[in-house]
Amino acid sequence: MITRPRRTEAAAKPSGRVPVDLVATGLRVAYERDVEILRGVEITAAARRISLVIGPNGAGKSTFLKAVAGLAPVTGGLVTLGGVDITRWRPRDLLAHGVALVPQNGTLFPAMTVRENLQMGGWLRRREKAWLGESIEAVVNRFNLPRHLVDRRAGDLSGGQQKLVEIMRSMIMTPTTLLLDEPTAGLSPKMASQVYEQIAALPGDLGVTVLLVDQNVRSSLAISDDVYVLAMGLNNDRGTARDITERLGEITAGWLRQGVSGAVKS
């Protein structure tokens, strides 16, 4: 059964919140009439697991994540969180219900210090200063951020550090679900592996359900549990990370063929 709760800040307190599945059923997105980017995508991000969405360029991976986060115009289908309909919810309401988003482009506040950025992460509970302080402290410790960086301007940090701070900021509200879009885009391989290391630990350490969209297929497969392959706005394949890793050559070859012929068969 699907229920529609109130979407207010009152829901922001995560007391007793347990990780639940995030399910997209028949999700459709069209920015313009008749030009559908997603044509009925079915993806389940199971609780406390890392679900990875991969696919060729233009498959609709990022659009899918945006649609779940309420940033793309959903024209059909449902997104539910533990049975609750959260379709078309704005990021603010999603966050209040435990779903955090880290978009692909940098979203830090460059002129603020890292600490202020983390404080902004707790915006919905900004009046609870004591709680916020503790939460920031916990996140800084959890992610082993060097102390001297905490009072540095966020804009002065390296790209990898900025991405880590963004993920840290999304953890301040102790979400149950984290949506990550291309977290290592533009990072050096060394920085990328640090970021993946942190992501990999999220389900185990913090009980977070992770839905990851990534171009960096090999590295992201290494930390994922379930994998969905999208092509031309539709589900193309799915399996466990091990399963997909084994068939990866075949799958990417398929993407190449598709790029040539433009045909889709699922």
Partner 1 sequence: MRRPKSSPKSLLDMQTAVQTLILGTAIGGVYALMGVGLNLIFGVMRVANFAHGALYMIGGYAAYYLTLATGAPMPVAVIGAMVVGGCVGYFVNAILLRPVYRSRLERPSEFTLIVTFALSLMATSAAAVFLTPNYRKFEGMWPDTITLFGFVSMSGDRAVAFVTALILLCALLWLVHFTDLGRGWRALTQNRMGADIVGVDVFRLANLAFATSGALAAAAGAVLVPLYLAYPTMGESVIVKSFVIVVLGGLGSIAGSLVGGFLLGWAEALGSVYIGSGYTDIYGLVIMLVVLLFLPRGLFGISEREV
Q: Which residues bind partner 1 (CB under 8 A)?
A: 9, 12, 69, 90-92, 95-96, 100-103, 105-112, 116, 119-121, 123-124, 126-127, 155, 169-170, 173
Describe the strand order of the beta sheet including 50-54 as a list of residue ranges: 99-102, 177-181, 209-213, 50-54, 226-231, 234-240
Minimum CB separation of residue 133 from partner 1 in Å reads 14
Minimum CB separation of residue 218 from partner 1 in Å reads 28
Nearer to partner 1, 46 or 150 (CB): 150
Minimum CB separation of residue 231 from partner 1 in Å reads 28
Minimum CB separation of residue 260 from partner 1 in Å reads 35
Nearer to partner 1, 110 or 259 (CB): 110
Nearer to partner 1, 45 or 154 (CB): 154
Tokens of 123: 């915006």
Nearer to partner 1, 126 or 257 (CB): 126
Minimum CB separation of residue 135 from partner 1 in Å reads 13
| DSSP for residue 84 | E
Residues contacting 172, CB < 8 A, separation 6+? 118, 121, 122, 132, 135, 136, 139
Distance CA 111, CA 231 (A): 39
- The neighbouring-strand residues paired with 53 are 213, 228
Distance CA 156, CA 170 (A): 20
Nearer to partner 1, 121 or 203 (CB): 121
